[in-house]
Chain A
């Protein structure tokens, strides 16, 4: 058991819709980051949250947004879904930025 849980595990959405993915971090882990993994590729950094503030973003457009809550849970929101958004979305939490990443089991998003 990783200590980081993600929901839902699978999701099918239509192009143009909006989606919210959820992540519950390990207790005490105040930093959470989200990654997108397209099929056959390595994960790519979307953004990082620390103490409920976004403090780093990868090369993703603003329609990818997030929230982090005081109870260490977080959300990834994607608006105006595109077919290329189909991927495995992973969240990772750490208690100390840059060290000891714990990844969740991921959410498989399919956009049709």
Chain B
């Protein structure tokens, strides 16, 4: 059974600081997603990482994937208040023609002015 672990689960950081969220998963997968969720809202896709060594950047967020270590990171550079949200990583697994996303528990990020 695929397990996805994120840490930290809660993160309070000051504006302007840098930090990294980690996502470990237990079995081989070639697709990993990062999502953002604001309170009471749905999931907003941030990144999809498809191969070992993949790195993607959008604004102050950068995601990377190491399939050998089964580790993805989401790095936040010079945080701003607008980045406050819950961030999820999700790993694709397949079986019998079906594909499913297994999510981590999420990292609740609070950026303090």
Residues of A within 8 A of B (CB): 2, 31, 33, 35, 41-45, 48, 50, 55-58, 90, 92, 97-106, 108
Contact = CB atoms under 8 A, between A and B. Distances in A.
Nearest to A46: B100
B99 A2 contact: no
B interface secondary structure, majority:
strand
Interface stretch (B14-22, B40-48, B56-64, B67-75): B40-48
Chain B contact-residue range equals 20 to 34
User: Which of A42, A43, A57, A103 has the most chain B CB atoms closer than 10 A to its own CB?
Assistant: A42
Contacts of B52: none
Given A99-B31, A101-B33, A104-B42, A48 B105 contact: no
Given A42-B106, A45-B101, A56 B95 contact: yes
A98 B92 contact: yes
A103 B42 contact: yes
A41 B98 contact: no
B1 to A, nearest CB: 9
Contacts of A92: 101
Contact of B99 (A41, A43, A48, A90): A48
A31 to B, nearest CB: 8
B104 A97 contact: no
B46 to A, nearest CB: 12
A50 B94 CA distance: 14
Contacts of B102: 45
B34 interface: no
17 contacts: A33-B99, A41-B106, A42-B104, A43-B88, A45-B102, A55-B96, A56-B96, A56-B100, A58-B100, A90-B42, A92-B101, A98-B94, A99-B48, A103-B35, A103-B42, A103-B43, A103-B45
